[in-house]
Amino acid sequence: MRTAEGVALGDRYRLVRRIAVGGMGEVWDAYDESLTRSVAVKVLKAEFAGDAGFLERFRTEARNSAALSHPNIAQLYDYGEQEGSGYLVMELVVGEPLSDLLEREPVLPARRLLPILAQTARGLHAAHEAGVVHRDVKPGNILLGRGGRVKITDFGVSLARNQMTMTATGMVMGTAQYLSPEQAVGRPATPASDLYSLGIIAYEALVGRRPFTGPTAVDIAVAHVNDPVPPLPASVDRELAAVVVRLLAKDPAARPASGAELAAELDRLVPRTPPAGVPVVVTRPDRAPDPVPRLPAAPAPAPDGPTTAAVGAPPSYPPRRPPRPGGEPAHRTVSSRPPLQGSGPRLGRFGHMTWPLLALVLLLVALLGAALAGKVIGAEGPLTPPNLAQDVTSASAPNMPSDGKISQDVPEPAVRSAVNGPDRDEEDA
């Protein structure tokens, strides 16, 4: 069966884009043209098409997933076969796998991690109650959806109750890094095996590395069987560390009895954790969060210190203080009336520069008048040169009154020319 963008499986599910590749199949973002909704389609890889064993595994995954219905398990919608291959139509989870989150943030805070572990434990408990063991619990199969909702996916190697095993003697199913000791030695997987794998995930997220490693998958499997659990850092809460150590017990009977019991214990470690999602902020149980952050109160001013306004309060002018000893006021009182637009503080009816400018103009006028008076009036009285009187008389003859005084209508240029005439130099001499 060919898989490519635009190909429609079963004349209904049109492939949009490939979003993941697993060991046995490819996962595509697809569009259900019948119900007009987005779905996820898992298609058997082309190299396994026609292989009866892989096709039977696909059918087993479909049957086991169809028997499960829980908010923390990705829902199966449909199953189909085409051209010797098979495909599963599942719920499309908008988010990312836990493996991507751990790759970006190798160590997660306990308050963020514990709700993820608790939801996964609840989903596993629902599967175990239905008689299905996942057998491949790992970060890549734990999807983190919107609002913090956890979805367990990929029951490709799951084993149902009374189901005939499809593995040969000594064959191990699962991922070596998250394999339980009993699976590593070839024993059947049980619900406790899934909880052990969840304990490996918890250790990895709290420490930043897996507890058991090795150069090959066989070496890692041997370490799960023989090596003790490395101690967790002292920064990890003691109760939480004890839960992780219990999950990683070599003896399945020493682990928590069920996923529901484990989820309840994890919830107890993080108060007010909603069972259906990851809280953004977890508060203390004895104190509710404030809906609006409170600003610190402003300190009270000292008797002679500066006045301080609270943050966010409207601007105000300082009150008038009592005068200091001796009659000198503590500070100058500022008028509460705001200044006119485009001007600074007012001084009477005039601005800053009006009085100095007016005084300068009066001084210049006085000096000019004194200079002119000194030139025209000497020590013995006023001098009247003949040409000055003649020019003034001739220039102002039309307006001369009978009493001999110069009229106010005398043109200014005539007076200026008489003062600056050629006889002015002779008078100075």
Each domain of the chain, given as residue ranges in start order, spans 9-92, 95-161+174-280
**CA-CA distance, 411 to 409, in Å (whole number)?**
6
Among the listed ranges 30-34, 241-245, 266-270, which one has the minimum average pLDDT value? 266-270
Instruction: State the amino acid at position 173 in one-letter form.
Output: M
Q: Which residue has the higher pLDDT, 196 or 83?
A: 196
Residue 151: left if φ>0, alpha if ψ -120 to 50, beta else—which one? beta
Query: What is the per-residue pLDDT for 345?
Result: 45
Percent of the chain with pLDDT over 90: 43
Q: Write out the two tokens for 238.
A: 């003691």
Q: Where are the alpha helices (DSSP H) in 18-164?
A: 52-66, 98-104, 110-129
Q: What order do you get walking across the sheet with 76-82 strand by strand?
A: 8-9, 13-21, 25-32, 37-44, 85-90, 76-82
pLDDT band of residue 55 (cuts 50, 70, 90) is confident
Half-sphere exposure of 268 (CA within 13 A, CB side): 9
C-beta separation of 151 from 288 below 8 A = no
Query: What is the per-residue pLDDT for 64?
Result: 85
Residue 21: left if φ>0, alpha if ψ -120 to 50, beta else—which one? beta
Residue 223: left if φ>0, alpha if ψ -120 to 50, beta else—which one? alpha
Query: What is the per-residue pLDDT for 374?
Result: 57
Contacts of 241 (CB under 8 A, 6+ apart): 232
Among the listed ranges 47-56, 115-124, 272-281, which one has the minimum average pLDDT value? 272-281
**For the segment 162-218, what is each residue's pLDDT rounded down to a tens digit?**
444 434 434 445 688 999 999 999 898 999 999 999 999 999 999 999 999 999 999
**CA-CA distance, 44 to 79, in Å (whole number)?**
12
End-to-end CA distance of the chain: 126
**For the segment 208-228, what is each residue's pLDDT rounded down to a tens digit?**
999 999 999 999 999 999 999
For the cut 80, the answer to whether the pLDDT of residue 326 exceeds it is no
Instruction: State the amino acid at position 384 in one-letter form.
Output: T
Which position has the token pair 């003062």?
A: 419
Q: Which CATH number fits domain 9-92: 3.40.50.300, 3.40.50.1980, 3.30.200.20, 3.40.50.800?
A: 3.30.200.20
Q: Which CATH architecture has domain 95-161+174-280?
A: Orthogonal Bundle (1.10)
Which position has the token pair 């003859």?
A: 397
**Do you know the residue count of the chain?**
429
**For the segment 387-396, what is each residue's pLDDT rounded down to a tens digit?**
434 443 344 4
Which position has the token pair 């956890």?
A: 150
Instruction: State which of 56-65, 114-123, 169-178, 322-331 shows the largest mean pLDDT.
Output: 114-123
Q: What is the DSSP letter of 277?
A: S
pLDDT band of residue 147 (cuts 50, 70, 90) is confident
Q: What does the mean pLDDT of the chain come to?
A: 74
Contacts of 129 (CB under 8 A, 6+ apart): none
Query: What is the per-residue pLDDT for 398?
Result: 43
Burial class (CB in 10 A: 0-12, 13-18, 19+), 379: exposed
Query: What is the per-residue pLDDT for 24?
Result: 79
**For the segment 283-316, what is each residue's pLDDT rounded down to a tens digit?**
334 444 444 334 344 444 444 443 333 334 444 4
- The mean per-residue pLDDT over the stretch 82-101 comes to 91
Hey, which residues are catalytic here?
136
Query: What is the per-residue pLDDT for 358?
Result: 72
